[in-house]
């Protein structure tokens, strides 16, 4: 049995859940998420808890059992309190500014990079080098944060670029450091 799939999902009073066959609609103060599960996965509501059950013990269905339980739980959490990813821009002259609902990055290229708004995602700029990506869909928040990060991945030698807040980089030594340590 799936240990994750067996656990019940507790639904807060502020979240409304509607189940229609294999579609579940979860609505809260932050937004609305709809999840469609396979026929073999059944989601039932009992008072303020949701239970995810599977119809068979096939290997594929077993793996989907835990997956869909976690997707539903992430949706329940996300519609009540948004998921957040924080990014920081490191480098001389590197910065970000909001332009309407879009973001404009200066990342050392010959042109500014415009990142268009994605529906369901909110951007917040702190100072000129920190961006907060938030929304009710955990997968969409993570994907959007990654798309921003790959605009300028952190450099392995100087550490310049966009990184997640608190992310540790292993900085490589340059040619001078290697040459200084080598015997003559």
Residue 104: strand pairing partners: 97, 114
User: CA nearest 54: which of 11, 2, 9, 19?
Assistant: 2
Residues 66 and 100 in one domain: no
Residues 72 and 87 in one domain: no
| 175: in domain | no
Nearest-angstrom CA–CA distance, 143 and 115 = 13
Report pLDDT for 184: 57
Residues in the chain, pLDDT under 70? 1-2, 178, 181-184
Q: How far is CA 168 from CA 75, 134, 171, in A?
A: 29, 22, 9
Report pLDDT for 175: 83
**Containing domain of residue 75, as a range?**
3-80
Report pLDDT for 182: 63
Which of 54, 80, 106 is at the close of a domain? 80
Nearest-angstrom CA–CA distance, 171 and 139 = 29
Residues 67 and 119 in one domain: no
CB 163 within 8 A of CB 88: yes
pTM: 0.87
Residues 71 and 116 in one domain: no
């Amino acid at each position: 049995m799936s240990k994750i799939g067996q656990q019940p999902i507790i639904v807060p009073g502020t979240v409304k859940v509607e189940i229609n066959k294999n579609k579940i609609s979860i609505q809260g103060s932050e937004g609305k998420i709809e999840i469609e599960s396979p026929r073999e996965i059944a989601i039932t509501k009992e008072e303020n808890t949701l239970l995810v059950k599977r119809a068979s013990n096939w290997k594929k269905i077993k793996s989907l059992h835990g997956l869909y339980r976690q997707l539903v739980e992430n949706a329940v959490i996300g519609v009540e309190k948004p998921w957040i990813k924080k990014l920081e821009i490191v480098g001389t002259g590197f910065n970000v500014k909001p332009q309407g609902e879009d973001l404009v990055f200066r990342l050392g290229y010959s042109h500014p990079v415009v990142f268009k708004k994605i529906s369901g995602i909110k951007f917040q700029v702190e100072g000129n080098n920190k961006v907060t990506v938030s929304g009710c869909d955990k997968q969409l928040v993570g994907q959007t944060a990654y798309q921003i990060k790959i605009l300028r991945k952190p450099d392995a030698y100087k550490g310049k670029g966009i990184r997640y807040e608190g992310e540790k980089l292993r900085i490589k030594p340059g040619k001078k450091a290697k040459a200084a340590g080598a015997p003559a």
